[in-house]
Amino acid sequence: MVFFFFVLLFGCEKEAIVQPKYYPFIQIEKIVVKDNKGVNLSGTIVQPGISPITEAGFVISLSGRPTLNDRKAVAENDINGDKISCQVSNDLLADTTYYVRAYVKTDSLLIYSAQRSFFSKGCLPPEIKKVAPMRATAGSSVTIIGNNFGATLESNTVYFGNRKAKVVKATQDSLVVMCPDTEESVSLPISLEVANSKIKYAREFELTNPWIRNKDFVSNDRIFCSSCVVGDYGYTTLGKVDGHDIYSAKTMWQFSSQTKEWVIKKEFPAQERGHALNVTYNGKIYLGMGVNDDLIKKYNDLWSYNPKTDEWERKADFPGETNMMWPIGFTLNNKVYVFVRPIFSESEIWTYDPIQDQWEKQAFYPNWSVKMDANLKWAETYNGKGYCISNNEIWEFDPSDNQFALIKKFNDIYYADDFFHIDGIFYIHYGNKLKIFELKTGYTGTISCPLGSFSDILFQFSDRVFMSETYTKTFWEFDPEQ
């Protein structure tokens, strides 16, 4: 007997009729529907073919011709034999017709059986055994452990109180959800609905608001200022004040993250400016370069500020072209990396050695998708690399070869106002929202932000961030653990 069946070649959409002698062939043997307990599926690998089988199971959908893009149930027994079986006890609506096909995979082939259908009589209800953590801020991820969860993101509906949470990952026994927004810290029950079956977790969850309104900035509101952190203190200077069009600020302000108080320090000793380079190294602040009011004059001077002595010191001038725009930088491997974009020429990387007080131009072979302009913003370094955002893309800089790599693109962000990170979690402020991106897991979330536009004073400490809103004195604290 010769069987004819469809084979899908990986990477190719064309279907071909082939001889079963060389390819595996699978068929559904039995479908047993159980009252309120799901369905048992069994199949037979009629012809194993000549290539090792790597996976076998069943695919299920509400419409005809289900594929691996629909619900997948992998065989529970050893696929080295000729029989496969699987019990599907979750996420099946009662009194509903489902379509099912068996499938088998090799390294290069994906083969489906003929389609069959069954009339579901329901399934086991979901069960929540554990929620971790039991306290988290809006926008952060929470894991729900249990049984009989929905097989897809859409088939699980999770609520914190009456606030719907976004499900970002789903398996039969685990869900990862994003905490919904909240304007205040509240205790709420967690509920889950799967296949019209609703349950509520026994314990209440503490949902916290990460934003805290601090006392207003004590001086005039400002824009395009320079801010950085040394120890428990934040420092800010330069920029425009009171909505004026000229750079007039030179006063250095010190902010204590412990007492939340402001103190005036010795003012910047050189010309007022904006878009200046500001980085820290070994407890000192390095500030300089930048542009004047009409963006025509560019400065090449560099100064260091010692918070312990409250003194400024002139350092070696930047030796590159003086027509560069918006220098940005960060400290890595005992050096200050400075990125500049000269007008009408290619971007450049320079390193500054604070100990030797010397500049050195670096070989730079960038991906030109990284736009070296005012839209490029840097976060602190993390795990030996630098990270920046250009409009809506996060890029990673590797100092070993001076190369950029695209890490993440956000299609719902047009322009990033601010960018910072806390312990490997990156935050992008855009408009009145804050995007959350976990570098390790790839998790993304979005919460509201009380700042309507980009901040000018931004102090990034190890566990929290302080931000002021443009053209106002309002000052906010963001604490993801509060």
Report whether 206 contacts 200 (CB < 8 A).
no
- Residue 350 has phi, psi (to 5 degrees) of -125, 150
The domain tally of the chain equals 3
Examine residue 326 and state whether it is found in any structural domain, yes or no: yes
Query: How far, in Å, CA of 160 to CA of 169, rounded?
Result: 17
pLDDT for res 418 = 84
Task: Count other Cβ atoms within 10 Å, centred on residue 366.
Answer: 17
Measuring CA to CA, how many Å separate 425 from each of 434, 464, 475? 12, 12, 22
Does 275 share its domain with 343? yes
C-alpha span between 21 and 3 (Å, rounded): 9
- At residue 342, the pLDDT reads 63
Contact 243, 469 (CB under 8 A): no
In a domain, residue 169? The reply is yes
Query: Do 421 and 435 form a contact (C-beta atoms < 8 A)?
Result: no
The answer on 216 and 137 residing in a single domain is no
Is the same domain home to 232 and 354? Answer: yes
DSSP 8-state assignment for residue 354: T
**The predicted structure's pLDDT at residue 477:** 93
Q: Is residue 54 part of a domain?
A: yes
Question: Does 1 reside within a domain?
Answer: no
Domain boundaries, position 147: 127-208
Residue-level pLDDT at 315? 97
CA atoms within 13 A on the CB side of 352: 30
- Give the pLDDT of residue 376: 62
List the structure tokens of 381: 């370094």
Query: What span, in angstroms and rounded, lies between the C-alpha atoms of 348 and 359?
Result: 13
Query: How high is the pLDDT of residue 5?
Result: 44
Whether residues 172 and 268 share a domain: the answer is no
Same domain, 220 and 329: yes
Looking at residue 395, what is its pLDDT? 86
* One domain, residues 447 and 358: yes
Distances from the Cα of 84 to the Cαs of 116, 345, 377, in angstroms?
16, 64, 54
What pLDDT score does 364 carry?
66
The Cα-based distances of 238 to 143, 218, 246, 273 in angstroms read 45, 15, 11, 6
**pLDDT computed for residue 15 by the predictor:** 39
Flag whether 143 is in a domain.
yes
Which ranges of the chain have pLDDT less than 50? 1-19, 368-369, 373-374
- What contacts 272, CB < 8 A, 6 or more positions away? 238, 246, 247, 248, 249, 250
pLDDT of residue 390: 79
Which residue in 282, 295, 302, 217 sits closest to 253, CA to CA?
217
In a domain, 98, yes or no: yes
Asked if 169 and 158 touch (Cβ cutoff 8 Å), the reply is: no
Domain containing residue 144: CATH number: 2.60.40.10
**224 in helix, strand or coil?**
coil
Q: Positive or negative, the Cα torsion across 459, 379, 181, 191? A: negative
Residue ending a domain, choose from 164, 186, 208: 208
CATH number at residue 391: 2.120.10.80
Whether 137 and 112 map to the same domain: the answer is no
The reply to whether 186 and 242 lie within a common domain is: no
Do both 51 and 182 map to the same domain? no
Contact 40, 31 (CB under 8 A): yes
Residue with tokens 């306290």: 135
Q: Give the end of a domain, one of 121, 150, 178.
A: 121
Looking at the fold, whether 453 and 308 belong to one and the same domain comes out as yes
Assess whether 344 and 466 both reside in one domain: yes
Which of 104, 121, 138 is at the close of a domain?
121
Q: Say what the pLDDT of residue 401 is.
A: 84
Instruction: Judge if 168 and 22 occupy the same domain.
Output: no
Q: Which residues pair with 274 in a beta bridge?
A: 291
Question: CA distances (Å), 327 to each of 21, 134, 180, 381, 415, in order?
Answer: 66, 43, 38, 17, 19
Show the tokens assigned to 477: 């604290």
Q: Can you name the residues that pair with 61 across neighbouring β-strands?
A: 99
